[in-house]
Amino acid sequence: MQKRKLGHSGLEVSPLCFGGNVFGWTTDEPTSFRLLSGFLDAGCNFVDTADVYSKWAPGNAGGESETILGKWFKQTGNRQQIVLATKLGMEMGPGRKGLSRRYVFEAVEQSLKRLQTDYIDLYQSHRDDPETPQEETLRAYDELVKQGKVRAIGASNFQAERLSEALTISREQGLPRYESLQPLYNLYDRAQYETELEPVCEQQNLGVIPYFSLASGFLTGKYRTENDASGKAREGMVKKYFNDRGFRILAALDEVAKKHESTPAKVSLAWLMARPSITAPIASATTVEQLNDLIDATRLKLDDASIHQLDEASA
């Protein structure tokens, strides 16, 4: 499988990133192990998680996803074959959030312990922290890089102006720079990334690893009515897509999928992978069958006419 470079980091990643948000939420530990091993066996090497995954699930405290990954690393010895991305900054508990120097050092040690590793390939600011000067955060990351605990840093959920500001500080102060951006981007959610963030990423040669690549499952085509989503884990997340534009996108996906003897999910991911600025979309699976669909998407090459049809339907 052809690997892609992540910014200037030297990290080479598969064109698909496995989203670890499902570990410890909709996927138990044994299933998570099977999925991770299947992902690696298929030639993929890029896994994204966060300290806060999956704090939102009843009975969870956060850290469940990293803990499962750490156990898998220990059991299989596959740590060095994976480009491991994790994040910090979302609230883990009282006084445990943000990007202050103090908290960066606290959070990284907890993540390393859960992940049972001594280094993180891509350590990402999960969201901007306006209360902490960006230089303070970048200097903390600089120390982690020099200590060998972090290989590269990235940003997630940043506005274009703040991302540009951070890149300027890194350049002027000789500090590590954000080598990647993790934005919300998919066939439905296009506007903010394409108009504001993509120009910065292309100009600065940042890797881009979009999350919600399948719009919380809506772009798979399995949620076509409110009843389809009723009672499901993602019910509240997919409802916003039930509108004329959403159904127009699904119709186009159905047509393109039929043309390529494929599925809406594979076509949605292939559309993302075909966009020049995208390094690797993040997608999750909860079954081996779903995982195989994700892997298949890396082999699907859409023709220009199909891409144009999807662009028009989702404009």
Model pLDDT for residues 257-288, shown as the tens digit of each residue: 999 999 999 999 999 999 999 999 999 999 99
Say how far apart CA 119 and CA 110 lie, in whole Å: 12
Concerning whether 211 is annotated as a catalytic residue, the answer is no
Give residue 235's pLDDT: 64
Residues of the chain predicted below pLDDT 70 = 225, 227-235
Of 53, 141, 188, 211, the catalytic one is 53
Give residue 233's pLDDT: 60
Contact residues for 300 (Cβ-Cβ < 8 A; gap 6+): 260, 262, 266, 267, 269, 270
Q: Which three-class secondary structure state does DSSP give residue 211?
A: strand
Looking at residue 193, its amino acid is: Y
93: region left, alpha or beta (phi > 0 left; psi from -120 to 50 alpha)? left
Domain regions of the chain by residue span = 4-182
Give residue 308's pLDDT: 98
Say how far apart CA 112 and CA 106 lie, in whole Å: 10
Count of C-beta atoms within a 10 Å radius of residue 35? 24
Burial class (CB in 10 A: 0-12, 13-18, 19+), 30: exposed
Say how far apart CA 56 and CA 94 lie, in whole Å: 16
| Assigned CATH class of 4-182 | alpha beta
